[in-house]
Amino acid sequence: MSKPAEQFFVNGIVAVRDQMPYLQLSTENGLVVELTMAQARQVAADIVQMAARTEADAMIVKFFGKMDFPAGATSGLMQEFRDFRAELDQDEAART
């Protein structure tokens, strides 16, 4: 069984030094990082994206693990899905 996770805190501040908004990520052991709003939004988007991708990978492993495929087939299939996602990631919409 794994060790329980640390408490994780997210706080918003307006800094005295430049009167700009920041998000602070910390644990009970102290400040981990202070992020600008753009950085915080990017981290949030990355977390949501990685959560969805990791769930999809787990679904592939669980589903195809029940099938009678040759050793390594599930890994190969997962890599194909990841490669496809990487192709989709390259598609960018033009800003108007």
pLDDT of residue 5: 66
DSSP state of 67: S
SS3 76: helix
pLDDT tens-place values along the chain, 96 residues long: 566 667 999 999 999 999 999 999 999 999 999 999 999 999 999 999 999 999 998 998 888 888 888 878 888 888 998 999 999 989 988 888
Domains of the chain, residue spans: 8-89
Sheet-wide strand order for 30-35: 8-14, 21-27, 30-35
| DSSP state string for 8-53 | EEEEEEE-TTT--EEEEEEETTEEEEEE-HHHHHHHHHHHHHHHHH
- Give the count of beta carbons closer than 10 Å to the beta carbon of residue 77: 15
